Structure 1
Amino acid sequence: MPVLDLTIFLLYMVAIVGFGISFSFRKRSSSDYTTGGGRLPAWAIGMSIFATFVSSISFLAYPGNAYSSNWNGFVFSLSIPLAGWVAVKYFVPLYRKLKSESAYYYLEQRFGSWARIYASICYLLTQLARMGAILYLLALPMNSLLGMSIPSIIIITGISVVVYSMWGGIEAVIWTDAIQGIILIGGALACILVIFFGIPGGPSEVFRIADEADKFSLGSYEMDFTTSTFWMILIYGLFINLQNFGIDQSYVQRYLTAKTEQEAKRSTWLGSLLFVPVSSLFFFIGSALFAFYQAQPELLPEGTPGDKVFPYFIVNQLPVGFTGLLIASIFAAGMSTISTSINSSATVILSDHFRKYIQKDPSDKTSLLVLRTSAMVMGLLSILVGLAFNGVTSALDAWWALSSIFSGGILGLFLLGLLSKAKNPQAVFAVVLGVLVIGWMSLTKILVENGLPKTLANPLHTNMAIVMGTLTIFLVGFGLAWAGKKR
């Protein structure tokens, strides 16, 4: 690795970790650690929401997805503004009014302690899967760049993020996210410029080759939910993003860090609307890389997987200096999301488990100790999950499948509480049925291999598990509440 690239990357790593740790030297309370004392500016919170959306799943998996197929995955991004509008109109006012640092306090108020436990455990499992996928994707370019093994890189990266997330709290997370969001946008733009000037024939050749190969397609517009059509991804994206804004601790916690409700709404709009054009940059990079290597096939080893094309390009085609910048950008994307997940998971463990079942009214010192210990444990577990991701065919598909399974349909329970008069027994029955539906849809391939008749197999795409699970919980609970009222 050229000295300049290594210097840029190492300076970035040292600076960002040091900046995050610096927040631990201020006089802090557990409230500062989880909500920043409700004094953070809207633009920084918005950039943090945006950076959490991006992560290295976007920075590496989106280009890999577009390179291997088309822009079908971009339809997921198109659902975010609609989910953002619902969040601004309904979710932000709700959580600002409740003034609880836990996203799952509301579920307890509506249905009892079981709902809070169920939702918080689903959230923790989802975050472990997400952090593991990100750590794996971060390791890909460094594996090519330094020659270090992927497991070694996952361990080193995971520990680096844990250090500043564990000590700095939500302020460290949001301010480092804001910086990293700016860096990753600059890195993506720099990469596109290099492709434009590196392909024979210039930028027009990129559009010609990619268009001829149908690389800008958003997928089939048929009303088919058995494959990755436009409508399937749009509906899946809408449900995932409603869950993010409505019941995901990472987002709900940010609503409480703003000074006022209006600033919380502005930050939500900024984060959600900024992601759409930036995610299109990542998909365009994938299409442009396809054209770049079609025009110069000798530059890419035959059989290189889609997820590894962009890292290979960064290492082998970028000028000295740009490689260090892009690697720093990828780490910026990944570290911002991992730090968010670590902080929010620690908050869930303290609020929804420790204070509820171990010590009802802990001192501030004890609360901070629990937060930091929980952050460390979640970070270490995410490293183990990242090691388990090593060798998957498509990190993006694997993450989408896991997020559908672990979500547990908690969006359905949240909507049931918000939009119906369902009581506790009705909600319990609806959740049990919804979890069975999610399990059947997600594990149908394994069930068929173990004797389930193919006629009973899930006919829909696996990503539809969260959609059908959510609808099952909401509609069954709503129907039972209506029938009970009539009776």
Structure 2
Amino acid sequence: MSKITGGLPILDLGIIVIYLAAMILVGIYFSRRNKSAEQFTKASGLIPGWAIGLSIYATFLSSNTFLGVPGKAFGGNWNAFVFSISMPLAAWVAARYFVPFYRSTGEISAYTHFEHRFGPWARTYAVICFLLTQLARMGSIFFGIALSLQALTGYSMQLIMIVMGLCIIIYTVMGGIEAVIWTEVVQAVVKTFGALLILYLILINLPGGAETVIETGRRANKFSLGSFAPDFRESSFWVILLYGFFINLNNFGMDQNYVQRYHTAASPQAARRSIWLCVVLYVPASLLFFIIGSCLFAYYNQHPELIESIRHQVALERLPPGSSAEAVTALQQSLEPADYGDKVMPHFMVTKIPAGLVGLIVSAILSAAMSTISSGMNASATVFSEDIYQRYFSKNMNDRQRLRLLYVATTFFGLLGMFAGVAMIGVKSILDVWWELSGMFAAGMLGLFLLGLISRRTGNHAAMTATAIGLLIILWMSFSHLLPETYSELRNPLHKNMVIVVGTLGIFLAGLLFTRLYGARKATRKHT
């Protein structure tokens, strides 16, 4: 089989090119319907619930799951699967309370109601938090797919991000939310099939098959969900459960990617069903990727020479060019499985998957990346248009001007996502960096949202004070590890995934406290 320069067979390259071209053609097809801003952002509310559910599932099942989850399972255990276990409870809250709330407002933006509740500052603050979260998400996904394709093709990560990013921008700009949803329906099927194919190929290359995986994993404690002790300083079962509940509550209740889909449904009932369809599909799908990681661990456990090859490559990447052989060897020997877990699946694809199938699997990984990035671009453009530009710069835009603005904003945020991906080159774990950044940015807006939804008495001043306190807590928990050793007692003792838990509760509880204090002060003034 002839190959291109980087080592990817031409057949596989052809499959990937056909897939990318098909996505662009989808955008062209739906572009004929995008004659208004409402069609671009809501698809006129005519998308069936099952399609929305598959779309949300596809957004959850990003390339962070495809590459990051097997990497975590390879380098550690199944502790991160507790995140998925927390989804049903968050989905119940969202279906019961959030969907009716958003459908009743009629606002396409998830953040417009912040201004109605607390004033313009709250709306702007929530939008900034959301846009930072989206840049972190898109950047981590761009980096993850570039990491995989670089191992296959030899091309630079920057070039891979640019080519893929341009394809995503074209079909997202042309097709709007309708193209995003329907391509995600296809991508949901493609990426699930790709995961099953990877699992099958690992097992047929592993002597003993599933029995070897179970035995090897049992000896290495690979199936552990983490410690059940009430310890919030380490990544225990309870830390990930709390993190998962709060981040999924943010996803279903605050993330424009999902809230916007509630408006595309024909009815509130269809929107609720879409949430539950996502949960029913995602929980077993995420388990599948942990199984893949454990299978890879068993396979490479039988081939230590391949592990040394991966460790050597990671050492070369982390050291400056021209480093001595001794320095490379020293770093190589110090690396732990968690340091190179994200590299294992791309390495397996390069060395063990036959020509033709590689193209299918890469297309599945591409679909995992493209679905999340395209929805992030569309959601970011919608929020920027509704909550920033039309709010502060041009309130009386006609429909054609709004549609043009959405096109420009979608392109802009796609380019920003690419730059964020380039900035992440060299991070240790895709999943870790995404979880850390998302927890940091989401904590502030989720706490404020819950405060406004639950406490009807909380006013502008109480909410602003609580948010300021919550921000200080979030900043301290996120960056206190940078304090010098002299001030080590001032560092955050909790695990970094507790940022969203403590930050959210900090804003919510402080808001309730200041509501009572301000209320008591007003009552005192009235009586005097």
Considering the TM-score relative to the shorter chain, is it more than 0.5?
yes
Q: 8 Å contact 2:310–2:343 — kept in the other structure?
A: no
Distance in 2, matches of 1:146 and 1:84, equals 40
Distance in 2, matches of 1:5 and 1:182, equals 19
From 315, 319, 338, give the equivalent of 2:354. 319
Whether 1:439 and 2:446 are equivalent positions in the alignment is no
From 285, 288, 307, give the equivalent of 2:342. 307
- 2:147 is matched with 140
- 1:478 is matched with 512
Per the TM alignment, residue 8 of structure 1 is displaced from its structure 2 partner at its CA by: 1.6
| Range moving further from structure 2, 1-10 or 41-50 | 1-10
From 46, 50, 62, give the equivalent of 1:55. 62
- 2:446 is matched with 411
Per the TM alignment, residue 3 of structure 1 is displaced from its structure 2 partner at its CA by: 2.5
- 2:491 is matched with 457
Give 1:471's aligned amino acid. L
Q: 8 Å contact 2:34–2:176 — kept in the other structure?
A: no
What's the secondary structure of 1:217's corresponding residue? Answer: coil
Distance in 2, matches of 1:319 and 1:207, equals 26
Per the TM alignment, residue 50 of structure 1 is displaced from its structure 2 partner at its CA by: 0.5
Distance in 1, matches of 2:223 and 2:301, equals 16
Per the TM alignment, residue 67 of structure 1 is displaced from its structure 2 partner at its CA by: 0.3
Give 1:160's aligned amino acid. C
State how 1:329-478 maps to structure 2 within 5 Å. Answer: 329-420=364-455, 421-446=457-482, 448-449=483-484, 453-478=487-512
- 1:270 is matched with 277
Distance in 2, matches of 1:408 and 1:225, equals 17
Give 2:478's aligned amino acid. S
Distance in 2, matches of 1:93 and 1:290, equals 45
Per the TM alignment, residue 302 of structure 1 is displaced from its structure 2 partner at its CA by: 4.6
What's the secondary structure of 1:342's corresponding residue? Answer: helix
Give 2:430's aligned amino acid. A
Q: 8 Å contact 1:197–1:203 — kept in the other structure?
A: no
Per the TM alignment, residue 41 of structure 1 is displaced from its structure 2 partner at its CA by: 0.8
- 1:34 is matched with 41
Whether 1:293 and 2:300 are equivalent positions in the alignment is yes
Distance in 2, matches of 1:454 and 1:141, equals 38
Structure 1: gaps spanning 5 or more residues: none
- 1:169 is matched with 176
From 124, 128, 146, give the equivalent of 2:131. 124
Distance in 2, matches of 1:302 and 1:366, equals 52
Distance in 2, matches of 1:102 and 1:302, equals 45
Q: 8 Å contact 1:166–1:376 — kept in the other structure?
A: yes
Distance in 2, matches of 1:404 and 1:302, equals 31
State how 1:1-80 maps to structure 2 within 5 Å. Answer: 1-80=8-87
Per the TM alignment, residue 160 of structure 1 is displaced from its structure 2 partner at its CA by: 1.4
| Range moving further from structure 2, 426-435 or 159-168 | 159-168
| Range moving further from structure 2, 261-270 or 26-35 | 26-35
State how 1:75-90 maps to structure 2 within 5 Å. Answer: 75-90=82-97
Structure 1 residues 453 and 27, CA, compared in 2 at 3 Å: closer, same or farther?
closer
Per the TM alignment, residue 208 of structure 1 is displaced from its structure 2 partner at its CA by: 1.2
Q: 8 Å contact 1:206–1:288 — kept in the other structure?
A: yes
Distance in 1, matches of 2:432 and 2:510, equals 29
Q: 8 Å contact 2:310–2:344 — kept in the other structure?
A: no
- Percent of pairs identical after alignment? 49
Give 1:40's aligned amino acid. I
Per the TM alignment, residue 42 of structure 1 is displaced from its structure 2 partner at its CA by: 0.8
Per the TM alignment, residue 408 of structure 1 is displaced from its structure 2 partner at its CA by: 4.7
Corresponding residue pairs, total: 485
- 1:180 is matched with 187
Structure 2: gaps spanning 5 or more residues: 1-7, 315-339, 524-528
Give 1:470's aligned amino acid. T
Bigger Rg over Cα: 2
Distance in 2, matches of 1:224 and 1:402, equals 22
User: How high is the TM-score relative to the length of structure 1?
Assistant: 0.97
Distance in 1, matches of 2:177 and 2:82, equals 31
Q: 8 Å contact 1:405–1:465 — kept in the other structure?
A: yes
User: How high is the TM-score relative to the length of structure 2?
Assistant: 0.90
Per the TM alignment, residue 484 of structure 1 is displaced from its structure 2 partner at its CA by: 3.4
State how 1:138-217 maps to structure 2 within 5 Å. Answer: 138-217=145-224
Structure 1 residues 75 and 152, CA, compared in 2 at 3 Å: closer, same or farther?
same
Structure 1 residues 162 and 472, CA, compared in 2 at 3 Å: closer, same or farther?
same
What's the secondary structure of 1:330's corresponding residue? Answer: helix
From 242, 256, 260, give the equivalent of 1:253. 260
Q: Deviations over 1:186-237 (max 9, x none)?
A: 0001111111111012221121112211111111111111111110011011
Q: 8 Å contact 2:91–2:276 — kept in the other structure?
A: yes
